[in-house]
Amino acid sequence: MGGRKILLIIGGGIAAYKSLEVIRRLRQRGFSVGAVLTKAGAEFVTPLSVSALAGEKVFQDLFSLTDESEMGHIELSRSADLVVVAPATADLMAKLAGGHANDLASTTLLATDKTVLMAPAMNVRMWNHPATQRNLAQLRKDGIVFVGPGDGEMACGEFGPGRMAEPNDIVVAIENTLAASSGALAGVKALVTAGPTHESLDPVRFISNRSSGKQGYAIATALAELGADTTLVSGPVALEAPARVKLVSVETAQEMLVACDRALPADVVVCAAAVADWRPETTAGQKLKKRQNGATPVITLAENPDILATLSHAVPRPALVIGFAAETENVVAYAQAKRTRKGCDWIVANDVSPGTGIMSGDQNRVHLVSGDGVEDWPLLDKAEVAHRLAARIAGVLKGRTA
Ligand code: CTP
């Protein structure tokens, strides 16, 4: 990612001190950083600290003759690869949502032709105010990307959402957003499986599991955002079809395998589905009825096809095949064994013990098991796990095709 330029707009909030750390980390990673400091921002951090860390002059004034002769605000807004607003105050969000342009920051945001990433920071009540939430919805609609805010204790002593994302998370979001806007997976064909399968006993009963499909849907979304031509083969879930993804809805493991087969060849396959390992050997044509003598039915099970193992041995083989391992004990050891047994390249392993809340929740703590070893990722939103995985996939596929 080195050699790319970030334009950082620092708004007026106590979290502005964290933006100094963002600049430091970006410079360490080889980015160059231009900075705009708003009048309110300058009440929290000094232009001198910002320019010392950025190694460049700080822009503060819309009508500065020297700034205008050196670089007009239009040029400033377009000279970067990405515009980042951190902290993004309620005021800056409102200005952009309303199209106002009465200072350098708001003018730059309106004039830019680049993606804008905002890291909001404000008091919890300000964040929850209908006006801010309305502006947030409008900005999202306009294509503005957001990182945070997080929950926690705030400088004002209150608790709740409004804390600016941590510097490291902002830097990761910057890298993900740049990867997305550069179409890092353009020309790549991706296949993702998601959700549970339903294995019918009779027309009204089935065997299934608690998978929500959230992680697989997030992965398909993240791959498509990077420009991959993405097919999502999904079991029955209560989720909306992701944008830019070809959704193929199936019920059973056997149907899932047929749909995956049809989507081949693919460059990358991610099997996130919680496929039922077994199905009833026979499916009754009519609803099974209770017997008069009280005898309970005996259900004989047949093993389902292993879709991950099948796709790992497809000809031509996808360049990268990734499986998931949902375990309740010995998470990494079982995942390593599963990787070898199924013949895939990576296993994303997670602990789905009931206490973790992972199975139907919005967060996930995963271990990425590959031939190179094991990486432990922190507890992240499922969307963030998906973005990181998609960025890793882009790195590997680019390496192989370069
Ligand atoms: N998987 C699959 N088809 C199956 C079963 C599993 O594609 N019939 C895939 C899942 O999508 C996941 C991985 O295999 O990527 C791990 O599935 P899991 O059920 O945990 O593995 P098993 O081999 O069934 O091992 P066990 O149940 O003994 O843990």
> pLDDT-derived band of residue 402, with 50, 70 and 90 as boundaries?
very low
Residue 398 has pLDDT above 90, yes or no: no
Residues 282 and 371 in one domain: yes
Neighbouring-strand partners of residue 269: 191, 321
Residue 324 CA, closest ligand 1 atom number: 15
pLDDT computed for residue 322 by the predictor: 98
Mutate to test the pocket of ligand 1, among 277, 320, 358, 367 (most ligand atoms within 8 A of CB): 277
CATH of the domain at 66: 3.40.50.1950
Q: Is cis: bond before 378, omega within 30 of 0?
A: no
Ligand 1, atom 12, lies closest to the CA of: 324
Which of 121, 152, 181 is where one domain is finished?
181
Say how far apart CA 39 and CA 43 lie, in whole Å.
7
What are the angstrom distances between the C-alpha of 139 and each of 126, 134, 243, 379? Answer: 16, 9, 18, 27
Ligand 1, atom 27, lies closest to the CA of: 277
Which of 181, 200, 222 is where one domain is finished?
181
Q: CB within 6 Å of ligand 1 — which residues?
A: 193, 253, 271, 273, 275, 277, 304, 306-308, 323-326, 338
Ligand 1, atom 29, lies closest to the CA of: 327
Residue 170 has pLDDT above 50, yes or no: yes
What are the angstrom distances between the C-alpha of 355 and each of 164, 209, 288, 319? Answer: 29, 17, 35, 36
Residue 264 has pLDDT above 50, yes or no: yes
Overall number of domains in the chain: 2
Residues 292 and 369 in one domain: yes
Residues 359 and 322 in one domain: yes
User: Strand ranges (DSSP E) for 2-158?
Assistant: 5-10, 32-37, 58-59, 82-88, 116-120, 145-146, 150-153
Q: Which of 156, 260, 271, 344 is catalytic?
A: 156
Its domain, for residue 64, covers 5-181
Examine the residue annotation and report whether 156 is marked as an active-site residue of this protein: yes
Q: What is the pLDDT of residues 70-96, one digit of tens each?
A: 567 778 888 899 999 999 999 999 999
Residue 311 CA, closest ligand 1 atom number: 7
Distance of CA 283 to the CA centre of its chain: 39
Ligand 1, atom 18, lies closest to the CA of: 325
pLDDT computed for residue 401 by the predictor: 41
Say how far apart CA 366 and CA 374 lie, in whole Å.
10
Residues 113 and 219 in one domain: no
Backbone angles phi, psi at 118, to 5 degrees: -110, 135
Q: What is the pLDDT of residues 93-120, one digit of tens each?
A: 999 999 999 999 999 999 999 999 999 9
pLDDT computed for residue 294 by the predictor: 87
- Long-range CB pairs of 342-346 (<8 Å, 24+ gap) are 342/306, 342/308, 342/309, 342/312, 343/309, 343/312, 343/313, 344/271, 344/308, 344/309, 344/312, 345/320, 345/321, 345/370, 345/371, 346/320, 346/321, 346/322, 346/370
Mutate to test the pocket of ligand 1, among 338, 348, 352, 359 (most ligand atoms within 8 A of CB): 338
Q: Which two tokens stand for residue 49?
A: 């600290």
CATH of the domain at 355: 3.40.50.10300
Mutate to test the pocket of ligand 1, among 199, 250, 324 (most ligand atoms within 8 A of CB): 324
Say how far apart CA 9 and CA 88 lie, in whole Å.
8
Residue 322 CA, closest ligand 1 atom number: 15
Helix, strand, or coil here: 152? strand
Residue 184 has pLDDT above 90, yes or no: no
Ligand 1, atom 4, lies closest to the CA of: 306
**One-letter amino acid of 302:** A
Backbone angles phi, psi at 280, to 5 degrees: -60, 135
Residues 214 and 123 in one domain: no
Residue 29 has pLDDT above 90, yes or no: no
Residues 136 and 280 in one domain: no
Residues 131 and 245 in one domain: no
pLDDT computed for residue 70 by the predictor: 58
Residue 353 has pLDDT above 90, yes or no: no
Best CA proximity match to 135, nearest among 156, 109, 111, 153: 109
Which of 161, 181, 201 is where one domain is finished?
181
Residues 242 and 350 in one domain: yes
Q: Which two tokens stand for residue 197?
A: 């399968």
Residue 65 has pLDDT above 80, yes or no: no
How is the beta sheet containing 5-10 ordered, strand by strand? 58-59, 32-37, 5-10, 82-88, 116-120, 145-146
Residues 209 and 134 in one domain: no
Ligand 1, atom 21, lies closest to the CA of: 325
Q: What is the pLDDT of residues 190-207, one digit of tens each?
A: 999 999 999 999 999 999
C-alpha 337 – ligand 1 centre gap (Å)? 12
Residue 240 has pLDDT above 70, yes or no: yes
